Amino acid sequence: MFGVVLWCSDDGEKAVIWCEDHGDLAFYHETGVSQALEAGDMVRFRSEPAKKMRLAKDLVLIAQDGFRGLPERLKAVGGAGRATPPSANAVSVVPAA
């Protein structure tokens, strides 16, 4: 799977990755990494489910700093973490019996 690093620790050993399938974020944690990750890096990894989260394993750096500013743009578009109230025009869908 491909993804973009949204956040990483100062030492590059931990990261949160936005996945190409737009599903759950992937969490990466490896000690002694040879190349530190940075927000905006494009990576390829193997996705592994574990206790209500998605882990990124066997991570490979594809493009360093390929998506600079993506975390900031996502915050701006998403209202910086504020919940969006449901529409007053929303219609409840009930399956037919």
Percent over 90 (pLDDT), the chain: 29
What would the two tokens of residue 56 be? 């990124």
Can you give the pTM of this predicted structure? 0.70
Q: Is 91 buried (19+), middle (13-18) or exposed (0-12) by CB count in 10 A?
A: exposed
What pLDDT sits at residue 89?
Answer: 53
Ordered by where they begin, the domains of the chain are 2-77 (2.40.50)
Asked if the model's pLDDT at residue 27 lies above 70, the reply is: yes
Map tokens 């996502």 to a residue: 74
Question: 39: Cβ–Cβ under 8 A, 6 or more apart, which residues?
Answer: 5, 6, 7, 8, 70, 71
pLDDT digits (tens, 9 = 90+) for 59-72: 999 988 777 777 77
Asked if the model's pLDDT at residue 79 lies above 70, the reply is: no
